[in-house]
A and B are shown apart, each in its own frame.
Chain A
C-alpha cells in the first residue's frame, strides 16, 4: 500500500480537529508522509460540520481531497454525506449507539457500526468518543504500528492540561485499539496493510511555515488583528518571537496592524503582518504607502471566501485582483503564491528577501485550504538559506544623502532612525530624490519609473515558474497557489489514461510572469487555467496582459467557487473533456485535409 486516505467527520465540538491533528503528528513522527485537509464551521459549537482528512503515503502527496479509504463518522449526517465517496473495499466506521439503523448502505465497502458511545461511557468520559474512534483506526492499521507514537502525541497535545485529561484520552484510545484487535470481526483487507517509512521529516501547517520562515528571515516585528484563517500565524509568532527579542503586537484593527508594521520597518526591523480578505481590504491604502515611501514589508493574505465576511472558514483564490490591483495608483509590489506547506516556508523567505532588497511591499497569497493544512515538510537546512538584509547607506558627516536617489536599479540607499547623517522624511506624497513633496509632472513621471524599475531589477531574482508533466504536450494547464497540487496529481492520472498534459505553476504572480507564460504556451494548442474563483482572475489577467497568448492558443478556464479546494479527480475529468474536444477538432481538420 502506497497511499491511504482517512477522513474523520462529525459536528464541531466533537473533537474532530484534535483527533485529526494527533493522528497526523503520530504518522509523521513515525516516518510516513502525511498531508491533510480540514474544513470546519465558523462557530465553536453548534451543528456545523467538521471534517479532517489525512492522506498517509510513502511518497510526498500533494492533496488530501477526493475519495476516502477509511471514513470515520461521529455523527449521523456525515455518514450519508460521505458514504458514496468511499473507495471500493474501503471502510466506514460509525457509532452504532447513536445510529441504530443505517439508512444508506453499500455492498462494495466494509461497514463497521461500533459502540463508540458505550465504550466511552464505560470509561466515564463520553467526551473521549473521538479517541475511542481514533484507537479503532490505529487498530485497523496495526501494521503501521502507530499505537506507541500516538499515545506520546496525546501527551504532547494536552501537556498543559490536567493529568486526568491526558489519562482519559489515552485510556479511550487504548480501549478503541483493544476493541479493534480483540473483539472486532475483521472483514476489511487493511489488516495486512503495510507502508514504508521514509525517515525523519517535519510536520507543520501552512500558517506555521509562514511564521517559521519569518523568524528564520530575521523578522522581529509582527503586528496583526485576529482573523480566520490567518490567526494561527499571529499566535505562533506571539509564542516564538519574544524568545528572540522580537515582538508580536495585537492591534485595534488591520489598518493599525499594517501601519504598526510600517513604523517598525522604518525603524530598521524586518516586519510583517498577516490577515485574510476583509483585513486585506482594510490594508490596501497602507500597501500603497509602503510602495510609495519604499518601505519593506511582508503581508500574508490567507484567502477565504468573499466578498465581505463571506465564508470565513472556507477556501477561495479570489483575492488575486485585490493583491495585484487593490491599491489605488500605480503601485509596484510583488505577489507570491505558495503551492504547499513547504512552499509556504520558502516563498516567505523569498518574500522577506524581496521586500528588503527592493524596498517594496510583498504579498503572500495563501488560502484557507493551505493555511491550516498540516503536512510533512522535508528537513529544512536553515544554515544554507539565502537571507537578504537591508543594504544600508554608509554615511559620514557632510555627505549629501538622497533617500530616493534615482539609480540605475531603481533601488535607493536606505537609512533608519538612529543612523547618523541619514535623516530624512518618508512620505506617501510624491517627492523628489531629496524627499521633498512636489506636484511636479516631471518628477512624478520620473519617480514612478524609478519605483517600477525595481521590479525589472527584481525579475531576474524570482524563482522560476515550475513546470510539471509531459514536456511538449499539446494540452497545458496553468494554475497558481494551492490549486497546483491537485493539478499535478490530475496530470499523473491523465498520463495513466494516455493523455499528455503539462502544467505551469508560476510562483510569482506579480509582476506578471509573462516570459514564462510565453515560453510555456508556445507549443500548446490549448491551455486550461485552473483556479478557485468565479472571475477567472489569473486567466483574465494573462489573456489581457500577455497579448502573445491570444494568437493561436486557445485559453480555457476551469473554475471552482464552492469553498472547497479542487480534487485531482475533478481536474482529470476536465482534462478528459478538453482532450476529447481537441481530438474531435483534429479529426475534423484532418478530414478536411483529405478532401482537399
Chain B
C-alpha cells in the first residue's frame, strides 16, 4: 500500500473558496488526518450536497460525489452500506445539512453508519450571496430579511447528541491543529461521527466573523466524560461561550454491522448452495 502524503490528496480543481474562508483550514485538516491514517485515494469517497463547502470533493484526489442540495448523507450512507470497505466522508454546510437536508441528519444519527460527517457552519447561505441559514443569529440582516431575522438558531451539536450520533465534536476553523485532531478522531471512530466546524464566511457574514468567534471559543474541560450524553448536552447548551472539542463518543453497532446480522439470519434459513432457482420455487 502506498504511503500517502498530504500532497497526494490534492485534487484537479483549485479551491474556489474566497481567500481567508474557513473552509481552507478544514481541507488542510482533513488531508492531514487522512495522511496520518494512510487513506488511499481510490478507497475513499467524499460526498457532498450543494453549497460553498460542498464543492469540497473537487479539491480532493479521491473519489467524490457532488450530489444535490441536502442529500449528501443519503448518498454517503447508501454508498457505505453497499460497499463498507470504502472510507466515506460526507461534507457540507449548515444550509445543506440543517435546512433542506435536516431530515436525513436525524436518521443518520439513529442508524449509526460508519461514516464521518463534517459540517462547515458559516451561519449563512454564501453560494447564493448571503441569505439567512438555520444557524444565522438574530440581528443578521440580509437582502432577504432587510429589517429583521425572525427565527431562532439551530444548535447542531445539541441536535446530533439528541439524535444519538455516536461521535460528536465541534471545532473552529481558526484552530487547524484542533480540527485535525477532531477529524482524525472522527475518521477513526466506528460509527456516525459528526464534526461541527464553525467556519466563518469572510464575504457575507459580518455578524459571526473570525474575530467574534475567537472571543467566545473555549475548550471543553479535560475531565469531561465522553460517555455522558446529558453532560455533553449541557455544554452544547451553554451560553457562556462556544465549547469545542469532543462532546461525546461511544461505541455501538454500526448500520453496516447490523445489516450483517440481517444477512446471517436470512442465510440461516437456507442451504449454503441456495440459488436463484430455489427462490423461484416459491412461485411454483
* Chain A 186-222: CB-based contact to B (< 8 A → 1; otherwise 0): 0000000000000010111000100010011000110
Q: Which residues of A contact B (CB under 8 A)?
A: 29, 200, 202-204, 208, 212, 215-216, 220-221, 223, 239-240, 242-245, 247, 249, 251-253, 255-257, 259-269, 271, 285-286, 289, 293, 377, 380, 382, 416-429, 434, 436-437
Contact A263 B103 (CB under 8 A): no
* Closest chain A CB from B273 CB (angstroms): 12
- Is B144 in contact with chain A by the CB < 8 A criterion? no
**Interface residues of A, dominant DSSP:** mixed
Contact A267 B42 (CB under 8 A): no
Counting chain B residues whose Cβ lies within 8 A of the other chain, the interface size class is: 35 or more
Give A381 to B43 CA distance when docked, in angstroms.
38
Tell me the nearest residue of chain A to B263, going by C-beta: A242
Tell me the nearest residue of chain A to B13, going by C-beta: A436
Contact A429 B66 (CB under 8 A): yes
* Closest chain B CB from A390 CB (angstroms): 13
Give A137 to B283 CA distance when docked, in angstroms.
23
Tell me the nearest residue of chain A to B69, going by C-beta: A285
Contact B276 A216 (CB under 8 A): yes
- Is B274 in contact with chain A by the CB < 8 A criterion? yes
Contact B107 A221 (CB under 8 A): no
Stretch at the interface among B70-78, B145-153, B219-227: B70-78
In the complex, chain B residues 54-101 whose Cβ is within 8 Å of any chain A Cβ: 55, 57-58, 61-68, 71, 74-83, 85-86
- Is B33 in contact with chain A by the CB < 8 A criterion? no
Contact A264 B61 (CB under 8 A): no
- Is B35 in contact with chain A by the CB < 8 A criterion? no
Contact B75 A259 (CB under 8 A): yes
Give A465 to B66 CA distance when docked, in angstroms.
38
- Is B45 in contact with chain A by the CB < 8 A criterion? yes
Cβ-Cβ contact count across A and B, 8 Å cutoff: 170
- Is B216 in contact with chain A by the CB < 8 A criterion? no
Cross-chain contact of B276 among A245, A247, A382, A437 (Cβ < 8 A): A382
Most buried by A among B45, B71, B276, B283: B283
Which residues of chain B come closer than 8 Å to A416, judged between CB atoms?
63, 83
Give A259 to B82 CA distance when docked, in angstroms.
12
Give A262 to B45 CA distance when docked, in angstroms.
14
Contact A426 B42 (CB under 8 A): no
* Closest chain A CB from B146 CB (angstroms): 29
Cross-chain contact of A259 among B57, B67, B269, B276 (Cβ < 8 A): B67
- 23 residue pairs of the A-B complex, CB under 8 angstroms, read A29-B284, A223-B78, A242-B263, A242-B266, A249-B81, A256-B71, A259-B71, A259-B74, A259-B78, A263-B80, A263-B82, A264-B79, A269-B82, A289-B67, A380-B280, A382-B277, A417-B44, A417-B45, A418-B85, A420-B42, A425-B58, A426-B64, A428-B68
- Is B106 in contact with chain A by the CB < 8 A criterion? yes
Contact A418 B42 (CB under 8 A): yes
Cross-chain contact of A215 among B65, B67, B276 (Cβ < 8 A): B276
Contact A424 B66 (CB under 8 A): no
Give A437 to B11 CA distance when docked, in angstroms.
13
Contact A425 B63 (CB under 8 A): yes
Q: Given the interface contacts A212-B279, A242-B263, A380-B280, does A436 sit within 8 Å of B58 by beta carbon?
A: yes
